[in-house]
Amino acid sequence: MNSLSVTILGFFFGFFFGAGCALAVMYSIYTGGYRKGVEDSLRAEKTDRYRRWLPWAEKRLEKERARQ
């Protein structure tokens, strides 16, 4: 193999697989957090974390509605 083909293969495996795996990990963390948030919001007894972040989320929604 010449050096150009080795360079291209190295770039492909290093960048595309590396970036793809990193994005897959970040997506799984994001969706796991989203699921946990939906689960907390549907509980009859709200968790401390939910009660602590609820005013912040309501303020943020009000700001977004005011912009529109």
How far apart, in whole angstroms, are the C-alpha atoms of residue 44 and residue 64?
A: 28
Tell me the whole-structure pTM to 2 decimals. 0.44
Q: Average of pLDDT values for 27-56?
A: 85
How far apart, in whole angstroms, are the C-alpha atoms of residue 36 and residue 39?
A: 5
Single-letter amino acid, residue 54: L
Close Cβ partners of 54 (under 8 Å, ≥ 6 residues apart): 46
User: Binning pLDDT at 50, 70 and 90, where does residue 41 land?
Assistant: confident
Residue 42 has pLDDT above 80, yes or no: yes
Tally of domains within the chain: 1
User: Binning pLDDT at 50, 70 and 90, where does residue 15 land?
Assistant: confident
Domain ranges, residue 50: 3-67
* Phi-psi domain of 21 (left: phi exceeds 0; alpha: psi -120 through 50; beta: other): alpha
